[in-house]
Amino acid sequence: MSTNNETSLSYRCPLCEHHEAVLFSTYPTFQLVKCAQCAFIYQPVLEHQIEQYISEIYDAQWVQMREQYTEQTFHEHAAFNHLLIQMFYPYAAEKGRLLEIGSGTGEFLHLMNSIGWDVIGIEPSVAACEYASQTFNLPLRCDMFDPVKLAASEPIATDVQVICFWHVLEHQADPISFLQGAASLLHQDGIMLFSVPNLRSLTNQIHGLQSPLLSERDHLSHFTMEHIQMLLRKANLQSVSLFTRQEINRHVRDVSSIGQLKDKSSLSLQQLVKWQAELQSNGEGHEIVCVCKKGS
C-alpha cells in the first residue's frame, strides 16, 4: 500500500499529536490520511459524526446479517474471548464484574453471564440492543460509551474486574481518550482486553487500498502492533499480551479471494494451516488482540 499524494495536510494525529499528515487514500465519502511522524493511518472526523455512522450502518439489516453467523460468533469469538480471560485474569475462578463496551448482538456477554459473571454491556445500535434483549434476555444499555455517565448511572460499572471491547477501538475518533476512559472504570487489579483489525493483515495485503477494512467509512483508525504499543504507553497502560490472530474461517476466505487460489482445494490442509501459523507468528493475522492492565 502506498500513499497516493505527498501534499502535506494539516490534521492533528490522534496518536502522536503531530500536526502534519499526507493523503493515504480517497473513497467516495471520506479520506484516510497518514501521520507524517508516526505513520498512523486515520480518518479525520468529528466526534459527533461517528454516532451518525453507527445508526446508519448497524441497523436491523446488519443484525439480520449477523444472525446468520451466530454459531461462528459463539465458537470463534465468544469462546475464544472467554479463554483469554481464563488465561490472563488471575482471579477468573472467582468471577466478578465484567463490562463489555460495544456488545453488538450480545453473544459474548450472554456466555459470560451464563457462567456466573456480573455483566454490563453498552451498545449504541438500537437494533442490536433489541436483538440481545429478545434473544438472550440481556438488557444492554443503548448508548455511546461515556465513562462518567456510565459510572454515575450504573454502580456496578465502577471497580470492574474485566473490561472488554472487541473491534470497537477502530471506530473511535480519539483512541487515547477512549482507553483512558475505560481504564478509569477498571479495578486496580483488573484487566482490559480488546481487539482491532490489523493494518498488516493478509486481507489488506490481498486487497490493497480497496480492502474492506480500509474502505469501511466507520473505521476511523488503522493500527499496527507498534501503534497499539504506543497507544498503551500514552494511556498509561501496561501490556500483558499482544499478538495477532488469523481465525481459520477468515483465513479460508482470504485465501479463496486470491485470484490464482480461487479453488482453495488446491492447497492442502497442512499448507493452509502452516500459512495461518506463519501469518500469526509474523504479526500479520487478521486482528490484533491486546490484554493490558493499569500501569504502575
Q: Which stretch binds Zn ion (CB under 5 A): 9-17, 99-107, 120-128, 238-246?
A: 9-17
> How many of the other CB atoms lie within 10 Å of CB of 150?
21
Q: Which stretch binds Zn ion (CB under 5 A): 1-9, 10-18, 58-66, 96-104?
A: 10-18
Which residues within the stretch 12-31 sit at the binding site for Zn ion (CB under 5 A)? 13, 15-16, 18
Provide the grid cell at 126.
Answer: 438500537
CB of 177 to Zn ion, least distance (A): 15
Q: Which stretch binds Zn ion (CB under 5 A): 8-16, 60-68, 184-192, 257-265?
A: 8-16
- When the beta carbons of 13 and 191 are compared against Zn ion, the nearer one is 13
Q: Which stretch binds Zn ion (CB under 5 A): 5-13, 139-147, 164-172, 228-236?
A: 5-13
How many helices and strands in the chain, by DSSP H and E? Answer: 13, 11
> How many of the other CB atoms lie within 10 Å of CB of 199?
23
Helix (H) or strand (E) holding 101: strand 97-101
Pairing of strands 287-294, 5-9: unpaired
Q: Which stretch binds Zn ion (CB under 5 A): 34-42, 91-99, 171-179, 251-259?
A: 34-42
- When the beta carbons of 40 and 145 are compared against Zn ion, the nearer one is 40
CB of 36 to Zn ion, least distance (A): 8
Give the residue, chosen from 32, 33, 35, 192, that forms a contact with Zn ion under the rule CB under 5 A: 35
Provide the grid cell at 103.
Answer: 456488545
User: Judged by CB under 5 A, how many residues of this single chain contact Zn ion?
Assistant: 8
Question: Sheet holding 21-26: strands in order across?
Answer: 5-9, 21-26, 31-35, 41-42, 221-222
Provide the grid cell at 90.
Answer: 488471575
- When the beta carbons of 230 and 261 are compared against Zn ion, the nearer one is 230
**Dist. CA 276–CA 285, nearest whole Å:** 8
**Dist. CA 41–CA 214, nearest whole Å:** 10
For 165-228, the DSSP string reads EES-GGG-S-HHHHHHHHHTTEEEEEEEEEEEEBTT-HHHHHHGGG-HHHH-TT--EEB-HHHH
Whose CA is closest to 32, among 18, 13, 49, 60? 13
**Dist. CA 86–CA 248, nearest whole Å:** 22
- When the beta carbons of 38 and 151 are compared against Zn ion, the nearer one is 38
- When the beta carbons of 15 and 162 are compared against Zn ion, the nearer one is 15
CB of 230 to Zn ion, least distance (A): 8
Site string for Zn ion, 36-75 (x = CB under 5 A): -xx-x-----------------------------------
Site string for Zn ion, 89-118 (x = CB under 5 A): ------------------------------
- When the beta carbons of 200 and 227 are compared against Zn ion, the nearer one is 227
- When the beta carbons of 18 and 234 are compared against Zn ion, the nearer one is 18
DSSP label at residue 19: S
- When the beta carbons of 97 and 219 are compared against Zn ion, the nearer one is 219
Please report, as ranges, the residues that interact with Zn ion according to CB under 5 A: 13, 15-16, 18, 35, 37-38, 40
